[in-house]
Amino acid sequence: MGENLTFDEKNEKDYIEYTERINFALSIIAKEHKQPATKSNLARLSGVHRNTLRNRAIMDCPAELRGRQDAANFGWPYSVLAEIIAARKSAVLDKGETISEISILELKVKKLEQQLGMSRHQVAAWFTRAIQLKRERDEARRSVELLASNQRMLKDEVSDLRKKLVQSIKVLK
């Protein structure tokens, strides 16, 4: 009997599978100079629809670029494809020669450096947000303490007024 997976589990499984297929196709394109470094060829080799590749690339690009028409070109896997194209243009290769493993590793390092840079920006943004929230929390605590103090003062004042009222009533009787 087939696997009984929830919708989210199936999506996660498919996402991982597609990622592996895309990575494999990228490695083939990087290793074999005869393979065209095109979006169509990447889709064909990975067995993934071009829209899936484009959506992945848009989701992977920096947030500030997402509104642009060419945003997909800045995210994975299209950014790796662009690096392969650039490496091919700069490499002096004989006919039939493949890009070396070092070039592939350099592409991976560039991609990881790009991700690290984006992560640093995210960390800085979250750090700034955390500091802002701490300030807001401290301000809220001060406000609560002030309100509690005012409440105690008003309760004491009400208590004193009640005592005076009771004494006034006794005097009138």
pLDDT the model gives residue 96: 47
Contact in structure between 62 and 74 (CB atoms under 8 Å)? yes
pLDDT the model gives residue 161: 95
pLDDT the model gives residue 2: 54
Q: What is the pTM of this model?
A: 0.50
pLDDT digit string (tens) for 77-113? 988 888 888 887 776 444 444 556 566 777 788 888 8
pLDDT digit string (tens) for 19-71? 999 999 999 998 888 899 999 999 999 999 999 998 888 787 777 777 777 76
Two tokens, residue 61: 């690009």
pLDDT digit string (tens) for 44-56? 999 999 999 988 8
pLDDT the model gives residue 126: 92
d(CA 124, CA 121): 5
pLDDT the model gives residue 63: 74
pLDDT digit string (tens) for 128-154? 999 999 999 999 999 999 999 999 999
pLDDT the model gives residue 66: 72
The CA distances from residue 139 to 102, 135, 136, 148, in Å, are: 55, 6, 5, 14
